[in-house]
Chains A and B, each alone.
Chain A
Amino acid sequence: MSHALPFCIVIVEEWLNVMQQPPLVRFEQIAVTYPNGVQALADVSLDIPQHQAVSIVGPSGCGKTTLLRVLAGLEHVSRGRVIVAPETRLAMVFQQGLLFPWMSVADNISYGLMVRGASPQQCRTAAREWCDRMGLQRFIDVYPHQLSGGMQQRVGLARALATNPDILLLDEPFAALDAQTRLLMQELLSDLRAQGLCGTMLFVTHAIDEALIVADRVVVMSSRPGRIITDLTPDFAGGRRADQVRTLPAFHAAFDHIWQQIKTEVSAQMHEGVL
Chain B
Amino acid sequence: MSSSRWLSLVSPLVLIVLWESAVAFGVLNRVFIPPPTEVAVELWVSLRDGSMMDDVLISAQRILFGFLLGAIPATLLGIWSGLNRTVLLLVRPLATMLYPVPKIALLPLVIVVLGIGEVSKVVTVAVSVFLMVVIHTIGGVLQIDRRYFEAARVFGANQRTLLRTVAFPASLPAVVEGWKLAMGFALTLIVGVEFVGASDGIGYRIWQSYELYAIADMMAAVCVIAVMGWLITLILDEVERLVVPWRHTIKESRMPLVRTWWNAVRPWSYTAAIIPVLLGAAIAAQSVALNWWYLVLALIGSIAIQGGTNLMNDYYDYRKGTDTAAVKGTGGALLRGDLTPTQIFWAGIIAFAIGSTIGLYLVSVSGPFIFWLGLFSVAVGYFYTAGPFALAYVGLGEVAVFIFMGPVMVLGSYFLQIPDVAWPAIWASLPVAFVVAAILHANNLRDIDTDRLNHKRTLATVFGREGARLEYHLLVGGTFVSQWLLIGFGVVPWTTLITTIMVPLAWRLMQIAATEVEAAKLHPVLRQTAVLHMRFGLLYVIGWVVALWV
Contact of B230 with A by CB under 8 A? no
Any chain B CB within 8 A of the CB of A145? Answer: yes
Cβ-defined partner of A91 (8 Å) among B148, B154, B250? B154
The residue in chain A whose Cβ has the minimal distance to the Cβ of B250 is A145
Given A112-B156, A115-B156; A142-B172 close (CB under 8 Å): no
Contact B249 A92 (CB under 8 A): no
Smallest Cβ distance from A152 to chain B, in angstroms? 13
B184 close to A (CB within 8 Å): no
Chain A window 133-173, contacts with chain B (Cβ cutoff 8 Å), 1 for yes, 0 for no: 00000000011111000000000000100010000000000
Q: Are B165 and A146 in contact (CB-based, < 8 A)?
A: no
Inter-chain contact B156/A145, CB cutoff 8 Å: no
A71-110 toward B: CB 8 Å interface, digit per residue (1/0)?
Answer: 0111000000000000000111010101011110000000
> Which residue from A96, A103, A115, A142 sits with its C-beta under 8 Å from B161?
A115
Q: Does B516 contact A (CB under 8 A)?
A: no
Given that A100-B166, A111-B165 are known contacts, is A143 also in contact with B155, CB under 8 Å in the complex? no
CB atoms of B153 and A101 under 8 A apart:
no
Docked complex Cα distance between A146 and B158 (Å): 29
Q: Which residues on the A side are within 8 Å of B108 (C-beta)?
A: none
B residues less than 8 Å from A159 (CB atoms) = 155
- Bound-state CA distance A164–B244 (Å) is 31
* Of A74, A121, A145, the contact of B153 (CB 8 Å cutoff): A74
A94 and B155 CA atoms in complex are apart in Å by: 12
Q: Which of B129-165 contact A (CB under 8 A)?
A: 147-148, 150-158, 161, 165
Least CB separation from A72: chain B residue: B154
Establish whether residues A100 and B249, one from each chain, have CB atoms under 8 Å apart when the complex forms: no
Q: Which of B156, B166, B170, B249 has the most CB of A within 10 A?
A: B156
Task: Give the docked Cα–Cα distance between A101 and B152 (Å).
Answer: 13
Contact of B151 among A94, A144, A163 (CB under 8 A): A94
Please name the residue on chain B nearest to A69 by beta carbon. B150
Q: A96-B147, A98-B147 are in contact. Are A90 and B246 (CB under 8 A)?
A: no
Tell me how far the C-beta of B132 lies from the nearest C-beta in chain A, rounded to whole angstroms: 23
**In the assembly, what is the distance between CA of A139 and CA of B505, in Å?**
34
Interface residues of A in 163-187 (CB under 8 A from B): 163
Contact yes or no, A145 B249, CB < 8 A: yes
Cβ distance B118 to chain A, nearest Cβ, rounded Å: 38
Give A94 to B165 CA distance when docked, in angstroms: 18
Most chain B CB neighbours (cut-off 10 Å) among A92, A111, A159: A111
Closest CB-CB distance, A64 to chain B, in whole Å?
Answer: 16
Which residues of chain B are within 8 angstroms of A98 by Cβ–Cβ distance? 147-148, 151
Chain A nearest Cβ from B344, distance in angstroms:
21
A3 on the B face (CB < 8 A):
no
A143 B165 Cβ-Cβ under 8 A: no
Total of A-B residue pairs, C-beta within 8 Å: 61
Interface presence of A116 (CB below 8 A)? yes
For this complex, into which size category does the number of interface residues on chain A fall?
20 to 34
Taking each of B148, B155, B156, which has the highest tally of chain A beta carbons within 10 Å of its own beta carbon? Answer: B155
Distance in Å: Cβ of A114 to nearest Cβ of chain B:
8
Provide the bound-state CA to CA distance between A196 and B336, in Å: 36
- Find B165's partner among A74, A100, A121, A144 (CB 8 Å cutoff): A100
Total contacting residues, chain B, CB less than 8 A: 24
Q: Are A101 and B154 interface neighbours, CB within 8 A?
A: no
Residue on A nearest B253 in the bound complex, by CB: A146
Pair B253/A115 contact, Cβ less than 8 Å: no
Contacts of B245 in A (CB 8 A): 143
Contact between B253 and A142, CB atoms less than 8 A apart: yes
Smallest beta-carbon distance B151→chain A, Å: 5
Are B161 and A102 interface neighbours, CB within 8 A? no
Task: Return A94 CB to nearest CB of chain B, in Å.
Answer: 6
Is B395 at the interface (CB under 8 A from chain A)? Answer: no
A221 to chain B, nearest CB (A): 22
Q: In the complex, how many angstroms separate the beta carbon of A78 from the nearest chain B beta carbon?
A: 19
Query: Is the CB of B169 closer than 8 A to any CB of chain A?
Result: yes
Please report the C-alpha to C-alpha distance between residue A92 and residue B165 in the assembled complex, in whole angstroms.
18
Name the residue of chain B whose CB is nearest to the CB of A104. B246
A121 CA to B161 CA, complexed, in Å: 19
Whether A94 pairs with B166 at a CB distance below 8 angstroms is: no
Cβ 8 A contact of B170, one of A73, A74, A102, A143: A102
B154 to chain A: which residues have CB within 8 Å?
A: 72-74, 90-92
Which residues of A are found within 8 Å of B244, using beta-carbon distances? 102
Cβ–Cβ < 8 Å partners of B161 in chain A: 115
Contacts of B148 on A, CB cut-off 8 Å? Answer: 98, 100
Cβ distance B37 to chain A, nearest Cβ, rounded Å: 49
Contact A112–B155 (Cβ < 8 Å): yes
Q: Of all chain A residues, which has the CB nearest B157? A: A115
Whether B147 lies near A143 (C-beta < 8 A) is no
Contact A94 B246 (CB under 8 A): no
Mark each residue of chain B from 158 to 197: 1 if its CB lies under 8 Å from any CB of chain A, else 0.
1001000110011010000000000000000000000000
Q: How far is the CB of B148 from chain A (nearest CB, A)?
A: 6
A102 CB contact (under 8 Å) in B153, B246, B524 = B246
B249 near A146 (CB under 8 angstroms)?
yes
The reply to whether A163 and B250 contact each other, CB–CB distance below 8 Å, is no
Instruction: Determine if A116 and B156 form an interchain contact, defined as CB atoms under 8 angstroms apart.
Output: yes
Q: Which of B154, B158, B172 has the most CB of A within 10 A?
A: B154
A116: which B residues are within 8 A, CB to CB? 156
Taken together as a complex, chains A and B put the C-alpha atoms of A143 and B252 apart, in Å, by 12
Q: Which residue of A lies closest to B149 (CB)?
A: A74
A98 to B165 alpha-carbon distance, docked (Å): 14
Pull 13 A–B residue pairs with CB atoms less than 8 Å apart, ordered by A. A72-B154, A73-B154, A91-B154, A98-B151, A100-B148, A101-B246, A114-B165, A115-B152, A115-B157, A116-B156, A144-B246, A145-B249, A159-B155
Q: Beyond A73-B154, A142-B253, A143-B249: 6 further Cβ-contacts under 8 Å? A: A92-B154, A98-B147, A100-B148, A102-B169, A102-B246, A111-B165
Interface residues in chain A, defined as those with a beta carbon under 8 Å from any beta carbon in chain B: 72-74, 90-92, 94, 96, 98, 100-103, 111-112, 114-116, 121, 142-146, 159, 163
Q: Would you list the 7 A-B pairs with minimal beta carbon distance, nearest first?
A: A102-B169, A112-B155, A143-B246, A98-B151, A92-B154, A115-B157, A115-B156
